[in-house]
Chain A
Amino acid sequence: MSEYIGIVAIFVLAGVIAGGMVVLASVLGKKSPSLAKSEPFECGEMPFSLPGGKMAIKFYLTAILFILFDVEVVFLYPWAVIFRKLGIVGLVEMGIFLGILLVGYVYAWSNKALDWQ
């Protein structure tokens, strides 16, 4: 376990330094509250409504479809790097993999997940 002591030391140091800065700033810092300072800060914009309204469920559907194809691409990269080493077996395997993902795509399509109504 002794090889992990360095990590523990970094955790402790980070906690002490970050916590110390917050505590020192709130104890020693000058305070002059104003209306502008008590507004929620959002990239310099004036907030005009609280977040947390309803989102259309279609965005979740899009996000799920995105994951389907994102994962596909994640696997394609390492496969492309060693494509020559894997030979014909690798090509067939990737074909099967893409075929299975394609079933998911066809399923989404035939259930009208892609219709944006």
Chain B
Amino acid sequence: MTPVSITDLALLIPELILVGMALALLLGASRIQTATLATVGTVLAALVAALTAGWLMLEPPRLGFSGMFTVDGYSQFFKVLIASALALTTLLSVKRVDSESVRPAEYHALLLLASTGMMLAVSSLDLITLYLGLELTTLCSYVLVGIMVDRPNSNEAAIKYFLLGSFASALFLYGIALIYGATGTTDFEAITAILSKSGPGMDSLFMVGASLLAAGLAFKIAAVPFHAWAPDAYEGAHAPVAAYLATASKAAGLAALGRVCWAIFKTPGNELLPEVSMVLAGLAVLSIVVGSVVALAQTNIKRLLAYSSIAHAGYALLGFISGTAAGTEATMTYAYFYVFMTLGAFGVVIALEDRGETLEGYQGLAVERPKTAALMLLFLLSLTGIPPTAGFVAKFVVILSVVQEGYYALAILAVVCSVITAFVYLRVAVMMYMKEPESTALPDPDNDPSSRLPLAVSAALAVAALVTLIGGIFPGILTSWAVAP
């Protein structure tokens, strides 16, 4: 064990920036009364972190902290994504933080620390570091879900999420203990070395540990049957927090799952273990089917988006099943576009405030607020997977990756469920464009300045819409950065 040096700390620059801003916000917490200052600080920190993470991506891969931490293209790709999601979430929450009397410094510090945990998780090459990162994220998320302390449903959501989440963390930790028991190490590389010696007929103790590990990670990405927390947590949470959980948290969980699959569960021939591949296929099929079908019955938009995010977790998993580099890159692309289009859809929900929470609220929106309705339509089309939006490219690459490996049944199922989800999303579009507005119409934004969107929210929606469009028309610009480890 070599002591930590300055070069190790240099690998942590993006994380250190976020932690530094979080600590600064906590120090000034009693003096920060409105969201503006905290928002500016958080967005700046997120942008600088994204830039430094992107800069580290250009350098050759490096290891630090005795091989527990890596800075490679894979981890940096997800770090840029997490930091961008953080910046957009912060912009989207500007108005809500003040109107819900959420304490701004604490709210933003928790967002920053949750993102730090995700960044640590995607870079870790050791089970303990991975656990530490994920746990930092979930501990902050529990508080964020319950941050509207005077709303009973927010508290209820936080308690539910906490109980299920701590159970999942315990499973994950137990899995680590069993893997340590079977191999005597928590280091990914050492585990692989021991497994390749013992051959494919693996230790049953290791297999139990691996399944518990998979269950813990499946909980993080809300894959069926570990999805039950997501709709309740999203529904009760502050809408920007729900958006953050659905996007950044899921992307980090996917990244961690991919890393574990890629680094531990491979055969000596550098292929994914068939058992693991089967488990992933099971999770993917269940998530796609349950997520798509149950979304049909939802009338609350946050619950609808929660089930949609469950289905999308299933689609994203498709890329990992093949175990090839192309498959992993497909999942990375999927995660990238998914984050932006989902943040966009949540952004419209946030922009419409209380009206945006239920399906009925979208009735006749195209007449009253044509621009907002058009944006929502764009995100809905992208979530459905209709060209020329990013959602089409994302679905296309993951389905292509399973077809190339000969999983035709999976590909057919994915396409069929895609048609089901089209009904889910287009139901909202029909509400917006084919129904007359209700009598309690919103005031015309041109006459009433109070109903105009804050600049920050408009900016975040514009960025999300831009990525959704560019990703659909020129996918190469963004997908060329997705490189498997």
Contacts and interface: CB of A to CB of B under 8 A. Distances in A.
B23 A103 contact: yes
Interface string A73-117: 000000000000011011001000000100110110011000000
Nearest to A111: B30
A104 B3 contact: no
B26 A87 contact: no
Given A1-B204, A1-B205, A89 B27 contact: no
Given A1-B204, A1-B205, A103 B26 contact: yes
A107 B31 CA distance: 11
Classify the interface of chain B: helix, strand, loop or mixed. Answer: helix
A104 B204 contact: no
A89 B23 contact: no
Nearest to B105: A107
Size category, B interface: 10 to 19
Contacts of A90: 3
B5 A89 contact: yes
Contacts of B26: 103-104, 106-107
Given A1-B205, A100-B23, A103-B23, A110 B30 contact: yes
Contacts, number: 25
Contacts of B19: 100
Interface in B24-52: 26-27, 29-30
A89 B8 CA distance: 12
B297 interface: no
A103 B205 CA distance: 43
Classify the interface of chain A: helix, strand, loop or mixed. Answer: helix
A117 to B, nearest CB: 17
B441 interface: no
A86 B2 CA distance: 10
B58 interface: no
B3 A89 contact: yes
B409 interface: no
Nearest to B24: A103
Nearest to B23: A103
Interface of B: 3-5, 19, 23, 26-27, 29-30, 204-205
In the complex, the 4 A-B pairs of residues with the closest C-beta atoms, listed nearest first: A110-B30, A107-B26, A103-B23, A89-B3
Interface of A: 1, 86-87, 89-90, 93, 100, 103-104, 106-107, 110-111
Given A103-B23, A103-B27, A110-B30, 16 more contacts: A87-B3, A89-B3, A89-B4, A90-B3, A100-B19, A100-B23, A103-B26, A104-B26, A106-B26, A106-B27, A107-B27, A107-B29, A110-B27, A110-B29, A111-B29, A111-B30
